[in-house]
């Protein structure tokens, strides 16, 4: 196993989270490719872990904190670290030290770029991106929103801890319509998949539903809302991790449409 920088040879695999075999990743579209194009000249770092057989087994991506959902000074932020853990494709590559090697490579790169520290998000429950895993590798909690913790490792004495940027406002209700609002940054294929399912679901409800996509890779948009990736139906946020199915999304929209139609018929 060895660590390399992202090359053109592996861009497709990286943009599909190493899951080229997955129908869901195919369904997620090419949004991550567009995100990658935007971020390549903004300080994006990507490291890949190659197995001895030449297959990519793991990946880590990190950006200057100014392009993340957090705020801080002279820090970088890990969007994602992932080691392939499925039986399909290249098989389960976890428990072989790839995650640790990727994290160490990112830390070295960030230090060489002159950053004062590296931040990451982690969940307080035992699923993907576990906060406990980062803590085991020397990261400390700086902030949290619900189950989502903001962790960081200090590299210089004068480095200051980061903070989450919090939601500024909810989407507005639209009189006489069901409003569907998708906030999408583009870095995460799982959230891109949600967007594609939402877009397809909305077409089944005609003029009763208005959909809006807000590109939060545009920093101005993100700071206006304080929301990076999220789905709202009217002003209710719908859980998108893991991605809800097309049928579940359609059902959620349909309940709102029925409620709207009932309210309108009662006025006649």
Q: In CATH, what is the architecture of 2-164? A: 3-Layer(aba) Sandwich (3.40)
Q: Between β-strands 209-215 and 178-184, what pairing exists: parallel, antiparallel or unpaired?
A: parallel
Fold annotation for 178-267:
Glutaredoxin (3.40.30)
| pLDDT given at position 127 | 86
For residue 90 the two structure tokens come to: 């290249």
pTM flag (> 0.85):
yes
Low-confidence residues of the chain: pLDDT under 50:
none
In which order are the strands placed within the sheet that holds 148-154? 2-5, 45-50, 56-64, 75-83, 117-123, 148-154, 140-145
Residue range 39-52, pLDDT digits in tens: 999 999 999 999 88
CA-to-CA distance for 268 and 261, rounded, in angstroms? 11
User: Residue 227: what pLDDT?
Assistant: 97
- Predicted local distance difference test score (pLDDT) of residue 45: 98
pLDDT of residue 268: 52
What are 158's two structure tokens? Answer: 């004068």
Contact between 62 and 79 (Cβ < 8 Å): yes
Q: What is the pLDDT of residue 267?
A: 62
Rounded alpha-carbon distances, angstroms, from residue 194 to 46, 93, 94: 24, 26, 26
Distance CA 256, CA 235 (A): 11
- Whether the ω angle into residue 242 lies within 30 degrees of 0, i.e. cis, is yes
Comma-separated ranges of CATH 3.40.630.30 domains in the chain: 2-164
Domain with CATH 3.40.30.10 in the chain: 178-267
- Are the beta carbons of 182 and 231 closer than 8 angstroms? yes
């Amino acid at each position: 196993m060895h660590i390399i920088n992202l090359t053109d040879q592996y861009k497709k695999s990286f943009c599909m989270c190493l899951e080229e075999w997955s129908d869901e990743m195919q369904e997620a579209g090419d949004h991550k490719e567009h995100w990658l194009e935007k971020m390549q000249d903004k300080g994006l770092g990507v490291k890949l872990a190659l197995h001895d057989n030449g297959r990519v087994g793991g990946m880590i991506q990190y950006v200057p904190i100014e392009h993340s959902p957090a705020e801080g000074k002279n820090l970088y932020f890990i969007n994602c670290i992932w080691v392939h853990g499925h039986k399909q494709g290249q098989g389960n590559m976890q428990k072989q030290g790839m995650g640790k090697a990727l994290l160490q490579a990112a830390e070295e790169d960030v230090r060489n770029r002159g950053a004062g520290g590296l931040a990451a998000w982690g969940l307080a429950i035992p699923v993907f991106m576990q906060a406990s895993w980062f803590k085991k590798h020397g990261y400390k909690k700086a902030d949290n929103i619900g189950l989502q913790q903001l962790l960081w490792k200090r590299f210089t004495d004068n480095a200051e801890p980061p903070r989450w940027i919090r939601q500024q406002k909810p989407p507005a209700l639209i009189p006489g319509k069901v409003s569907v609002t998708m906030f999408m940054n583009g870095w995460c294929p799982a959230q891109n998949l949600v967007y594609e399912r939402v877009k397809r679901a909305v077409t089944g409800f005609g003029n009763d539903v208005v959909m809006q996509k807000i590109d939060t890779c545009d920093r101005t948009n993100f700071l206006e809302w304080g929301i990076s990736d999220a789905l709202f139906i009217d002003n209710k946020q719908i859980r998108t991790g893991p991605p809800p199915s097309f049928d579940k999304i359609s059902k959620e929209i349909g309940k709102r449409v029925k409620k709207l139609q009932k309210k309108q018929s009662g006025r006649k």
